Structure 1
Amino acid sequence: MNIQSIPAIKGLLIDLDGTMYQGTRPVEGADQLIRFLKSSNIAYRFVTNNSSATPEDVAARLNGMGIPAEPQDVCTSGQAAAVYIAERQPGASVFVIGMKGLRQALLDSGLQLTDERPDYVVQGIDRQFTYDLLARAVRHIREGAPYILTNPDLLVPSTDGLVPGAGSISAMLRAASGTEPIVIGKPSSILMDYALKQIGLSAQDTWVVGDNLATDIAAGKASGCGTMLVLTGLTTRDNYDGYARAAGCEPDRIYETLDALTEEIAAMLELNKTV
């Protein structure tokens, strides 16, 4: 490994599914990585496209797998969507298609939830989605409400395998309204920029860690961060070339395991001590 080619790492933005865990199982080395970052005073955030869960929910899930986490360590697409709106129109009214995590994030940012004449339509994954919600959202968008999409994931993992995600619901809204949404989550840079503000670092000092070229790595590139692909989830050596072509981007570094990533960061820190 050529650690001299790695600029100083002050912070990491870390993906969750496929990077920290797979389903209900932690990825090997996930707990050691987080403990190492803590002991080395390297700032980090868990960055997830999942808008259905609150930061408290995410932290509880991680802790349940033995991965240390606090709610303030978590950045969700729901939080980023709420802040995006609140910065542009404080106290705006919002028609929401989404679950607890998204609704709570909107309220926490001082936004008002409404069914009639909203300033914005915000949509994430919604497991109670109905035709009536679709019809009302389309009407509001066609009447001029900007359409905000938490994340474009067409499929998401569940205990029953892959199921439709926020992007699948969005396909209906886009087709019926004739409007393209403002996308908040990966591969958009908006979620990453939100996380960078939370971590208090510049993109030049921060690296994105993830297992998905089309979301994690593409978002890191879009935000100007360094990118580290771990072959712990979606991407493997066997499928790498196809995914790289489809994503239109490649990572700055590739690691077989989280342990290898931890070892390289540790070596980089030791090298900096001697410079």
Structure 2
Amino acid sequence: MTTDRDPPEFWLTDMDGVLVKEGEAIPGAAEFIAKLQEKKRRFLVLTNNSIYTPRDLAARLERAGLSVPEQSIWTSALATASFLDTQHPGGSAYVIGEAGLTTALHEVGYTMTDTNPDYVVIGELRSYSFAAITKAIRLVLDGARFIATNPDVTSPSPEGPLPATGAAAAMITKATGAEPYFVGKPNPMMFRSAMNRIDAHAASTAMIGDRMDTDIVAGIEAGLDTTLVLTGSTKKDDVKRFPYRPSRVVDSIADVVELV
């Protein structure tokens, strides 16, 4: 599928499976980032991972040979903080999450508390505390609104899948009957907040991702030009199973360089 849209002025790209894989840069990723910078295109690297701050992720990308400034990284933690800042400025939250999430909330003026918070906010953790989950359950039952950074139920590790935000959130839902509002992909809210960050418009913005069920569907719902790369989760034979189609399917990020 192709489109008659003008060449994109703004770019959003997923990180894992598109630019890097298992800590190594995917061939073509460095050239893609360099081309964006050479053409002075505004762009953001997106990730549903809420553990790390943009500074942490910029350092990780640098180790892989990709020079991405921290202000060009947009995480589900930042999107969550932005969302809460618009919904309830200066509010309070009981947070289950790492530095990426707590820092983002602090930066928008949120207070972290376990006493009558406005929200319970859960993100990804390296290890979940049963006591913290129990506290979250009781706060939600007492009326705190329930937010989760993203719905991913597992995250990868060298030893195999680890339970992630969606799995921990499901425990709270089962115990309370309260469904969280998920801010990260596939919610197009994450893309809209990213576009606001770089003052972009949907008609002139492209999204590159490796997953049909998060990156591509959210990009379509946000009205973006979408490119699926086959270096991550979704394989070519998988595409036909979905009732929606990206603007294009390419082998890797190397095939996108000429589109910048």
Q: For this structure pair, what is the TM-score category when the shorter chain's length is used for normalisation?
A: over 0.9
Provide the residue aligned with 1:146 in structure 2.
145
Alignment equivalent of 1:260, drawn from 250, 255, 259: 255
Which whole-Å deviations, capped at 9, do the CAs of 1:65-116 have from their partners, x for residues lacking one?
A: 1111111000111011111112222211100011111011111111000011
Provide the residue aligned with 1:137 in structure 2.
136
Which whole-Å deviations, capped at 9, do the CAs of 1:127-182 have from their partners, x for residues lacking one?
A: 23122111111111112111111000011112223211111111111111101111
**Structure 2: runs of 5 or more not aligned:** none
- Find the residue that maps to 2:196 and give its secondary structure: helix
* Conservation of the 8 A alpha-carbon contact between 2:239 and 2:245: no
Which whole-Å deviations, capped at 9, do the CAs of 1:160-207 have from their partners, x for residues lacking one?
A: 232111111111111111011111000001111110001111111101
Provide the residue aligned with 2:232 in structure 1.
233
* Conservation of the 8 A alpha-carbon contact between 1:23 and 1:157: no
TM superposition score normalised by structure 2: 0.96
**Structure 1: runs of 5 or more not aligned:** 267-275
Is 2:56 the counterpart of 1:61? no
Aligned-residue offset at 1:239: 3.1
Provide the residue aligned with 1:269 in structure 2.
none
| Percent identical residues | 35
* Conservation of the 8 A alpha-carbon contact between 1:23 and 1:158: no
Q: Residues 1-275 of structure 1 correspond to what in structure 2 (within 5 A)? A: 5-242=4-241, 244=242, 248-263=243-258, 265-266=259-260
* Conservation of the 8 A alpha-carbon contact between 2:18 and 2:252: no
Q: Report the residue type matching 2:186 in the other structure.
A: P
Greater mean deviation of Cα atoms: 171-180 or 159-168: 159-168
How big is the alpha-carbon RMSD for the aligned residues of Structure 1 and Structure 2? 1.5
For CA contacts below 8 A with separation 6 or more, give which structure has more relative contact order: 2
- Find the residue that maps to 2:156 and give its secondary structure: strand
Paired residues, number: 260
Q: Report the residue type matching 1:250 in the other structure.
A: R
> For residues 77 and 257 of structure 1, what CA distance do their matches in structure 2 show?
24
> For residues 58 and 88 of structure 2, what CA distance do their matches in structure 1 show?
30
> For residues 229 and 159 of structure 1, what CA distance do their matches in structure 2 show?
25
Greater mean deviation of Cα atoms: 128-137 or 15-24: 128-137
Provide the residue aligned with 1:272 in structure 2.
none
